[in-house]
Amino acid sequence: MNCPYCGEDDTRVMDSRPTETKIRRRRECARCGKRFTTYEVVERPLLMVQKRNGSFEAFDRDKLMIGILNAIKKRPVSAEQIDALIDRMESQYANEMRSTVTSVEIGNAVMEQLKAIDAVSYIRFASVYQDFTDVAGFIAAISALDPPPSEKSVSKKLQTKGDHNYVKKSE
């Protein structure tokens, strides 16, 4: 990092403070002694998503977030949990050095994680994502729930708009 005043490349970091997406560094030039601030931005590797129709688009975290937020509406699932869910996916793809994932993989990964967080949110997401056109698809999604709930508890969960026990806990 060169000094903006004299161009010297020997600068010392005085102080380093991470914020949400960037790291703020206070530096001092070893030659002229002037101080300046730099910001280091954490760059996520570019991830392309191949859609069902074969076309590609850049992975859009916000778009995925909105899709999931619709599924968890009025459910005991926090935005932080969804943030962490997407983080895990992004980290996994980054660790695997993936530059492309399919929208099907993303959908499946979200469903897999939602299933473990909240059954109702999972069913909602699955119904939109898999575009249930028949009862069979719906039943397949429910049967994928692990551990498999009894028919009684599934129908109860689907009928009840808010789970009062959960609501009380979060208050």
Residues that bind Zn ion (CB under 5 A): 3, 5-6, 8, 29, 31-32
Q: For residues 4 and 17, is the Cβ–Cβ distance under 8 A?
A: no
Q: How many Å apart are CA 166 and CA 161, to the nearest integer?
A: 12
Comparing CB distances to Zn ion, the nearer of 15 and 146 is 15
Smallest separation, CB 8 to Zn ion (Å): 4
Smallest separation, CB 70 to Zn ion (Å): 53
Comparing CB distances to Zn ion, the nearer of 3 and 49 is 3
Burial (CB count <10 Å: 0-12, 13-18, 19+), residue 65: middle
Smallest separation, CB 37 to Zn ion (Å): 14
Segment holding 16, helix H or strand E:
strand 11-18
The token duo for 65 is 């977030």
Smallest separation, CB 24 to Zn ion (Å): 19
Beta strands in 30-151 (DSSP E): 35-41, 48-50, 56-58, 100-102
Comparing CB distances to Zn ion, the nearer of 29 and 126 is 29
For residues 87-122, one letter each, b for 16 or more C-beta atoms within 10 angstroms of the residue's C-beta and e for the rest, the string is eebbeebeeeeeeebebeebbebbbebbbebbbbbb
Smallest separation, CB 36 to Zn ion (Å): 9
Nearest in space to 123 (alpha carbons), one of 89, 132, 82: 132
Comparing CB distances to Zn ion, the nearer of 3 and 142 is 3
Comparing CB distances to Zn ion, the nearer of 8 and 105 is 8
